[in-house]
Structure 1
Amino acid sequence: MASTVTVFTLGGTISAAQGGPGRLSGAQVLAGLAPTDDIAVRLQDFRRLPSSALTVDDLAELAGLIDEAGAAGSGAIVVQGTDTIEESAFLLDLLCAHQEPVVVTGAMRRPDSPGADGAANLTAAIAVAGDPRCRGLGAVVVMADEIHAARHVRKAHTTSIATFASPGAGPLGSVVEGRPRILLRPPTPTVERPLSLRRPVRIALVTLSLGDQGELLDAVDDRFDGLVVAAFGAGHAPAWLVQPLERLTTRMPVVLASRTGAGPILSSTYQGPGSEFDLLGRGLIPAGPLDAPKARLLLHALLADGADRTRIGLTFAGLTGER
């Protein structure tokens, strides 16, 4: 009996219409693919938007549809623009409840460009989403025949078709001769149970830079429910920003991430003013291995789910194996 995958199309480069600003329908995106004997493909034309225009609400609605498909035994493929693919995949990793494969893919080159990669990426995504051996991986990104865990993957180049990488971890596997080869499996889920966006929240993200005087921190007022700080190196800030950050922790959870995009936040290697030891001692929550945009999404989902500071801290700690 053939397995089933449901393809949810959202737009993006893979659906760019030839010679104009329009978008191809989901059926048009799938039209050029070779049929598979052992995987039945269903289609839901969910959105036609550039990925930069997607919202958390869009992804929450999509997660519900993916869970409906999963309850019927179908794997899921999300086809979207690559600008926010790592964030979409990570948010789905937090929200989706079932164990069927959830695969996010797209294209770096328009369908009318030489060497367009959309059909190859979508074909590989179907192979992963339709393979029962790919259950339980959490949401993954499949691009250029590589399978990346949502929590690790990053877009690392603006134009390269090999742009997606998982710094510090590497891909979970690859697609070879049309079949997935899984080499690694995440030891634990990103969260202990799927999160539910029960209430609206707003999370600020502030990236520190040389000579930063904290004006953007001053703007993080009662409009926000939480803050992620993309700090220097392994979690460092200038000494003059320590007290403003500490004051913010009295009003909201503040997560300390690195602006480097790879590697963990340290805890005690450096202990001077503005060091990771100093900031964590003043109530900031370490993001662990998550980059700042993903730390923002995890904080958003946790607060929307009703988590208190203790649970937030334990969830981030769990990403480093310290849960």
Structure 2
Amino acid sequence: MRRVTVFTLGGTISARGGDQARMSGAEVLAELGVAPAGVDVSLTDFRRVPSSSLGFEDLTALADEVGKAVAAGSGVVVVQGTDTLEETAFLLDLLCTTEEPVVVTGAMRRPDLPGADGPANLAAALAVAADPGCRELGVLVVLADEIHAARFAHKAHTTSVATFRSAGAGPLGAVVEGEPRIWLRPAVPSRICPLRIDPDIRIALLTLSLGDRGELLEAVADRFDGLVVAAFGAGHVPAWLVEPLAELTTRMPVVLASRTGTGATLSHTYRSPGSEYDLLHRGLIPAGPLAPAKARLLLHALLSSGAKGPAGYDRPRITAAFAHLDGAGLA
């Protein structure tokens, strides 16, 4: 028997009806009927909240429990709402060692609606978490029988049961007739050193839009420890924002991401004022292929883990951590 520890946090999979009531973890498992053959399930009813209400305190506590389960030789399934599922999965990928499979899943349709997808997603997640062939893949997202790496997984549709995509990469595999099939393996793990989350660290996320005059930047300097800019295209901002952003880099790390959510930021294709070349040479740090919300989590973890000190921030270390996930220099 393969042991799998299930942590339930709430979300649509537990929301029978549209009010605030949430089914218990035991009730969620009961909807499954019978666990996959050969799987011994241990349940922890961890939280019962919508995923939009989860905070860093919840997820750091979850990461500790996931780490204990993995250390004891158990695979892990985390069940939560899909609104922030991609962020939970990536944060666990940064905080946890994953010698055993760690899977995050949920549902897009409530259990009282026709075509509820929760039981099928949970069955697939249990199959992946119990499979030795899914070890050392990092944290995984499993929904609609697809297996995604946490660093790439993205909720791409508000209601579709096939909402999760791995933009620019594709899924690592699929669950076919109840059995995981892995086609691809990430070249490197998401984290290159032990990381933690300090809830008191504050990272701002600013998404630019047409005509942005930068007024929100004025609120960043005195209230936050770092900034992620979700810029246009491959990493571009209006020319009039260059100087304010450059000035911020003297006080905090400023990471340059793309609001498109797919593809890596560039480094030297464009060289006009406000281009990626201009911004990087003024001290901004490239996010590479990380979507802005995930870049925010990585920067938060890095500053929580020693890349911030009385003399300022460790720009080379932060830059190296983002470059590690960009696939540069892996040959």
Name the counterpart of 2:310: none
Alignment check: 8 A CA contact 2:102 2:129 kept? yes
| Bigger mean CA deviation after superposition, 36-45 or 176-185 | 36-45
Name the counterpart of 2:298: 298
* 1:241, distance to aligned residue in structure 2 (A): 0.2
Matched, 1:24 2:23: yes
| Letter aligned with residue 32 of structure 1 | E
CA–CA separation in structure 2 for the residues paired with 1:24 and 1:283: 49
SS state at 2:28 partner: helix
**Count of residue correspondences:** 322
Matched, 1:312 2:311: no
Name the counterpart of 2:200: 200
* 1:310, distance to aligned residue in structure 2 (A): 1.4
* 1:21, distance to aligned residue in structure 2 (A): 2.7
CA–CA separation in structure 2 for the residues paired with 1:20 and 1:247: 47
Matches within 5 A, 1:131-280: 131-197=131-197, 200-280=200-280
* 1:193, distance to aligned residue in structure 2 (A): 2.5
Q: Give the 4+ runs in structure 1 shifted more than 4 A.
A: none
CA–CA separation in structure 1 for the residues paired with 2:30 and 2:21: 17
SS state at 1:32 partner: helix
Deviations 1:49-90 (A, max 9, x none): 100001112111101101111111001100000000000000
Alignment check: 8 A CA contact 2:9 2:49 kept? yes
CA–CA separation in structure 2 for the residues paired with 1:321 and 1:13: 35
CA–CA separation in structure 2 for the residues paired with 1:236 and 1:19: 41
Alignment check: 8 A CA contact 2:36 2:127 kept? no
* 1:148, distance to aligned residue in structure 2 (A): 0.4
CA–CA separation in structure 2 for the residues paired with 1:19 and 1:201: 34
* 1:284, distance to aligned residue in structure 2 (A): 0.2
- Structure 2 unaligned blocks of 5 or more: 308-313
Alignment check: 8 A CA contact 1:208 1:230 kept? yes
TM-score, length of structure 1 as denominator length = 0.98
| Aligned CA distance change for structure 1 residues 199 and 161 (closer, same or farther; 3 Å) | closer
SS state at 1:204 partner: strand
| Aligned CA distance change for structure 1 residues 146 and 278 (closer, same or farther; 3 Å) | same
Matches within 5 A, 1:46-85: 46-85=46-85
CA–CA separation in structure 1 for the residues paired with 2:43 and 2:125: 14
Alignment check: 8 A CA contact 2:5 2:74 kept? yes
| Letter aligned with residue 23 of structure 2 | L
- Identity of counterpart residues, as a percentage? 69
Name the counterpart of 2:328: 322
Deviations 1:13-68 (A, max 9, x none): 00002464300000000012213331100000000010000111211110110111
Alignment check: 8 A CA contact 1:257 1:292 kept? yes
SS state at 2:67 partner: helix
* 1:223, distance to aligned residue in structure 2 (A): 1.5
SS state at 2:168 partner: coil
Deviations 1:230-251 (A, max 9, x none): 0000000000000000000000
RMSD of aligned residue pairs (Cα, Å): 1.1
SS state at 1:148 partner: strand
Name the counterpart of 1:11: 10
Alignment check: 8 A CA contact 1:226 1:299 kept? yes
* 1:138, distance to aligned residue in structure 2 (A): 0.5
| Letter aligned with residue 313 of structure 1 | T
CA–CA separation in structure 2 for the residues paired with 1:320 and 1:221: 28
Alignment check: 8 A CA contact 1:198 1:306 kept? no
SS state at 1:57 partner: helix
TM-score, length of structure 2 as denominator length = 0.95
* 1:198, distance to aligned residue in structure 2 (A): 5.2
| Aligned CA distance change for structure 1 residues 158 and 62 (closer, same or farther; 3 Å) | same
CA–CA separation in structure 2 for the residues paired with 1:168 and 1:253: 26
| Letter aligned with residue 6 of structure 1 | T
- Structure 1 unaligned blocks of 5 or more: none
| Letter aligned with residue 26 of structure 1 | G
* 1:199, distance to aligned residue in structure 2 (A): 6.8
* 1:319, distance to aligned residue in structure 2 (A): 1.1
Deviations 1:218-272 (A, max 9, x none): 1112211000000000000000000000000000000000000101000011000
